Amino acid sequence: MAKNRQTSKTGRFLKLAGMTASVAGRYASDKVQSVFRSEEGAEQAKRNTYQRMASDVADTLGELKGAVMKIGQIASQTQDFLPQEFSSALQKLQKEAPPVAYEVIRQQVLAELGEEPDKLFAEFEREPYAAASIGQVHRATTHDGREVIVKVQYPGVDESVNSDLVHLKVTLKLGGLLKMPKKSVDELFREIQARLHEELDYVQEARNLSMFREFHKHDEQLLIPEVLPELSTARVLTLEYLEGDHLDSEAINAYDQDTLNRIGQRIFSMLASQLFEHHVIHGDPHPGNFAFRPDGTVIVYDFGCVKVLKPEIVAAYADAIRASIHEDYASVDDALRRLGARVPRLPSPGADYYKVWRDIFFEPFSGIAHYDFAASDIHMRAVRNTPLFFKHIEHFKPPVDSLYIDRMVSGHFWIMKSLGVRQDFRPMLDQYLLSHSN
């Protein structure tokens, strides 16, 4: 069977090399032409160039899947180290990826488990239940009648991670998109690389699932699938099928507001307990990794991306939240240094700078009785203030140790917004902060 472009090393190399050449060419052309433009015209031309470059990158990453698509998903959730035009263009990578052919899946299952899917299972659906960046999911039924889902990793994805990341780093660098020191870039990509290698190991994910089931065993309305180890390997993972309504389903529209609010409370409690109590977080808050039921039950899937946090990082994060709530901006600056988000040798950007961001991001915790996440414009206000961030960018660096905390928080904000939760989480936040006080 001929390898497709997603799994062929040569095909991936050529596609990524073409993307890099396109981005570098656009950047070089814009730099030359900017000499002959007014300041305003140069700025608009740069935005147009970024949009065209971002479209090239998003199209390529979506086609190739694997590590580079996963990085695109992560990048789309942050404004911290890429221009806003890129983050916007990469949003489409959050949507479900096009599936690969069943024959590719059949061959992978055979290679991993030693038999054809039709022999291993009483029934194995050829059409995928879901498709993502590094694998896709098929529904099946075991010979003893148990309904399951089978998560199958795309062939060759694990072998391409390192080279894919090198290509992507070169692309962003040649496109003039990484406005940070080389050391910070290297640290950021090393962290992402480590998490991706863990995510590609389904044996590790099976351990993660067991660990998080133990974390949340006392909450009967927070469900995490059980692993079937006899039908699982490093590249195939078979789990019990837990049915629920996804965010994009029509069924969610029938949920009443009280149910949505209870779901919101359960999500917030899950997030906070993982962060402050267990120091281990579910680091992939993709909407497709959650489902819900009309009784307020929350189902969480996909525990490949899990981040174990250092106690000192959790303490610094908690201190940053406390200081922000009380508008103690000197303590905010100190906490950010401890988080590794601030360049230590440079002075604080100042209380006025921090207040802008504090007033935006802490609005849900301002004591509004029924904060309406659906109506929230936090993201729009953050985008409008990105010029302020880039004006002071030399004061900051990527917070490698807390990168996945930020990703978790922003991802859950979007889930709350999509659900239309109306809730004041400040009392719950205060309780967790109190329990984590020194």
Q: Kindly report, residue by residue over 388-410, the tens digit of the pLDDT.
A: 988 998 999 888 888 889 889 98
CA–CA dist 42, 33 (Å, integer): 8
Beta bridge pairs of residue 102: none
Contact 395, 340 (CB under 8 A): no
pLDDT at position 402 is 87
With H, G, I as helix, E, B as strand and everything else as coil, classify residue 180.
Answer: coil
CA–CA dist 427, 92 (Å, integer): 35
CA–CA dist 18, 25 (Å, integer): 10
Show the low-confidence residues of the chain (pLDDT under 50). Answer: 1-7, 32, 34-38, 77-81
CA–CA dist 93, 321 (Å, integer): 30
* C-alpha 410, offset from chain centre: 9
pLDDT at position 35 is 41
pLDDT at position 155 is 86
pLDDT at position 36 is 44
Which domains occur in the chain, in start order?
A: 9-94+160-178 (no CATH), 101-153+201-242 (3.30.200.20), 244-438 (no CATH)
Alpha-carbon separation of residue 384 from 53, 88, 379 (angstroms)? 21, 13, 9
What are residue 52's phi and psi, to 5 degrees? -70, -40
With H, G, I as helix, E, B as strand and everything else as coil, classify residue 128.
Answer: coil
Task: Give the max Cα distance, the chain.
Answer: 73
DSSP assignment of 55-101 equals HHHHHHHHHH-HHHHHHHHHHHT--SSS-HHHHHHHGGGGSPPPPPP
